[in-house]
């Protein structure tokens, strides 16, 4: 809701399972131009870094590998606490835990949604032109 109201600066990145919205950017299904291909490449690289970080958090904090059965406000606090504790562990150069097989693949993304928001798609075109249009 904060993103809808534009209370939060920046954009979110999502995969193709999410609709393109003014604040949620998804990859292009069929990039044609060089700027579109650069946009998709940057999107993929950035999302991969974020996904790797989430994987590390899930290994370090098992509670993040399953659905939190708490109120949204409490869940937000748990995630924030895990982020802070992860940063402390990194500062202390603690090892990243190994993968825990029985906790893998529990947080499956939302099923693919094919309908795209027209306004969001127009904003993505402007974003690509502004940030990826120069050769």
Q: Is the dihedral of CA 70, 76, 77, 82 positive or negative?
A: positive
pTM of the entire predicted model = 0.61
- The domain segmentation of the chain, as residue ranges, is 12-132
In 3D space, the residue among 17, 18, 16, 85 whose CA is nearest the CA of residue 3 turns out to be: 18
Environment class of 105 (CB within 10 Å of its CB; exposed 0-12, middle 13-18, buried 19+): exposed
> What confidence score (pLDDT) does residue 84 get?
96
Residue listed under structure tokens 């949620």: 24
CA–CA dist 70, 84 (Å, integer): 19
Contact status, residue 12 vs residue 24, Cβ threshold 8 Å: yes
In 3D space, the residue among 59, 48, 116 whose CA is nearest the CA of residue 86 turns out to be: 59
**pLDDT, tens digit (0-9, with 9 covering 90-100), for 81-92:** 999 999 999 999
> What confidence score (pLDDT) does residue 109 get?
37
> What confidence score (pLDDT) does residue 58 get?
92
């Amino acid at each position: 809701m904060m993103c809808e109201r534009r209370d939060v600066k920046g954009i979110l990145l999502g995969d193709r399972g999410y609709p393109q919205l003014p604040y949620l950017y998804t990859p292009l299904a069929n990039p044609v131009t060089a700027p579109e291909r650069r946009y998709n490449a940057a999107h993929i690289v950035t999302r991969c870094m974020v996904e790797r970080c989430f994987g590390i958090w899930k290994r370090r904090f098992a509670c993040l590998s399953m659905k939190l059965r708490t109120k949204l406000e409490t869940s937000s606090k748990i995630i924030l606490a895990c982020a802070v504790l992860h940063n402390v562990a990194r500062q202390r150069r603690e090892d990243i835990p190994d993968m825990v097989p029985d906790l893998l693949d529990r947080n499956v993304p939302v099923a693919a949604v094919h309908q795209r928001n027209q306004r969001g798609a127009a904003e993505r075109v402007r974003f690509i032109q502004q940030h990826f249009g120069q050769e």
